[in-house]
Amino acid sequence: MIPSVLPTYNRAPLSFVKGEGSWLIEADGRRFLDLGAGIAVNALGHANPALTEALTSQAQNLWHVSNLYQIPQQQQLADKLVDATFADTVFFTNSGTESCELAVKMARKYWYDKGQPERHVIITFDGSFHGRSSAGIAAAGSEKMTKGFAPLLPGFRHLPFGDHDAIKEAMKQPDVAGILIEPVQGEGGIRPLPDVCLKGIRALCDETGALMMLDEVQCGVSRTGKLFAHEWAGVSPDIMMVAKGIGGGFPLGAVLATEDAASGMTAGTHGSTYGGNPLGCAVGNKVMEIVSDPAFLEDVNRKAGLLRQGLESLVARFPDVFESVRGLGLMLGIKCKVTNVDVVKAAYDAGLLTVPAGDNVVRLLPALNIPDEDIAEALNRFEKVATELQPS
Ligand SMILES: Cc1ncc(COP(=O)(O)O)c(C=O)c1O
């Protein structure tokens, strides 16, 4: 008999009743150190007091109001994002998938309004992840996501991740509307795109007019030690997708764009019942206030250094279990020699939560404010896991 919850997830036999900072607690009191943070969502830890206060004080006044009316919390958050980034304008969504949907629509409408509707192809990459909607799976293109769901949304051209010669060639086609890429692939296995490649994509977009579209759903919101990951390369996109961390655990996403890239999105071309609601934006404003503070970012980089150094040492001491550490900031991946899922399962037994990713990688995406002592404890627990999995 089919379970009452549609069985699209292989769930671990864990169930939490409370969260406290970087810890999740089961009903029997067992505590787990959470290095997954809801897959990069709980950017400021569980039950963060400042976010709880922002959410509950808003909840006492107004939960939902239609986008038919002015929403001051939404306006404030849009202003903050515009002030802090390349963007001139923001549309709020409830998830990363919805952000990707709008980004695709925005790029196509841009060329339609310029009288070139034939420019509708979006270049995307192997190993990418852009959500599970029809556009999202067509964009990512992997058989794992698309099998059985044909006919797929047309208009995506897939290239090997970071293959600059292939990108250069593909950008010569006259039907290219834009290029969509994660500056650090998350689901694909924590694969950072080299700065030189992001710079090269920017230059090719400038040459051809194609829109540079960055999916920062997982790597954005200070996760890599800059407010947005593309800042490391010193270039900025035309369109950017955001979600996960921006709501700190409350469902919130956004599409940021330049005035030119967004020029096709006039009244009536897009909408959302819940996108930019007062509750989500009250939390988003508080998250932005905290994570965009230069002192906070400096601390993220310091903590990232501590965690990375500890992991590098583990890799060096357990070369039959782990192969290498990769990633940027607090978006780290350990490429494993043993099966990554075995590492994740053994970590559960050690009271440590991690997330598997593609390319046999175990992902570590802790809260950005994880205390130093929790980093040390995580490394101790990881060492136990490695010792256990060491082939004899
Ligand atoms: C890079 C990227 N894009 C899009 C998505 C989809 O986001 P959501 O699950 O919030 O719809 C994800 C989710 O993991 C992601 O990592």
pTM above 0.85, yes or no: yes
Centroid of ligand 1 to alpha carbon of 177 (angstroms): 22
Q: CB under 6 Å to ligand 1: residues?
A: 39, 95-97, 100, 129-131, 182, 186-187, 215, 217-218, 243
For 292-307, the pLDDT digits (tens) are 999 999 999 999 999 9
The rounded distance, in Å, linking the Cα atoms of 69 and 288 is 23
Give residue 162's pLDDT band: very low, low, confident or very high (50, 70, 90).
confident
* Residue 56 structure tokens: 């509950």
With DSSP H G I counted as helix, E B as strand and the rest as coil, what are the percentages for the chain, rounded to 5?
40, 20, 40
pLDDT at 392 (0 to 100)? 82
Query: What is the rounded average pLDDT of the residues 275-302?
Result: 98
Centroid of ligand 1 to alpha carbon of 241 (angstroms): 9
Beta bridge partners of 14: none
For 103-150, the pLDDT digits (tens) are 999 999 999 999 999 999 999 999 999 999 999 999 999 999 999 999
Return the H-helix or E-strand segment holding 363.
Answer: strand 361-364
| Residues 114/175/150/181 CA torsion (nearest 10 deg) | -90
| Residues 132/126/187/239 CA torsion (nearest 10 deg) | -70
* Residue 234 structure tokens: 């010193």
For 235-276, the pLDDT digits (tens) are 999 999 999 999 999 999 999 999 999 999 999 999 999 999
Q: Quick check: 206 pLDDT over 90?
A: yes
**Residue minimizing CA distance to atom 16 of ligand 1:** 218
For 317-341, the pLDDT digits (tens) are 999 999 999 999 999 999 999 999 9
Cβ burial 189-211 (10 Å sphere, 16+ → b, else e)? bbbbbeeebbebbbebbeebebb
Percent share of the chain, pLDDT over 90: 99
pLDDT at 310 (0 to 100)? 98
> Mutate which of 41, 145, 218 to test ligand 1's pocket (most atoms within 8 Å of Cβ)?
218
Helices 72-84 and 278-291 meet at what angle, rounded to 10?
30
- Using alpha carbons only, how large is the chain's radius of gyration in Å? 21
Query: What is the rounded average pLDDT of the residues 352-357?
Result: 98
CA-based nearest residue to 22, from 39, 32, 30, 34 = 34
DSSP 274: S
Under DSSP, is residue 215 helix (H, G, I), strand (E, B) or coil?
Answer: strand
Q: Strands of 121-125's sheet, edge to edge?
A: 89-93, 253-257, 239-242, 211-215, 176-181, 121-125, 156-159
| Residues 266/267/269/270 CA torsion (nearest 10 deg) | 110
* Residue 68 structure tokens: 């038919």
Cβ neighbours around 30 below 10 Å, total: 11
* Residue 78 structure tokens: 């849009």
- Region at 150 (left for phi over 0; alpha for psi -120 to 50; beta for the rest): beta
pLDDT at 318 (0 to 100)? 98
> Mutate which of 99, 244, 250, 252 to test ligand 1's pocket (most atoms within 8 Å of Cβ)?
244
User: Could you tell me the sign of the dihedral formed by the alpha carbons of 169, 172, 176, 179, in that order?
Assistant: positive
pLDDT at 345 (0 to 100)? 98
∠ CA 156-158-163, rounded to 5°: 140
**Residue minimizing CA distance to atom 4 of ligand 1:** 130
Which residue type does 42 have? N
For 15-63, the pLDDT digits (tens) are 999 999 999 999 999 999 999 999 999 999 999 999 999 999 999 999 9
Centroid of ligand 1 to alpha carbon of 218 (angstroms): 7
Return the H-helix or E-strand segment holding 362.
Answer: strand 361-364
> Mutate which of 217, 328, 365 to test ligand 1's pocket (most atoms within 8 Å of Cβ)?
217
CA-based nearest residue to 370, from 329, 326, 316 = 329
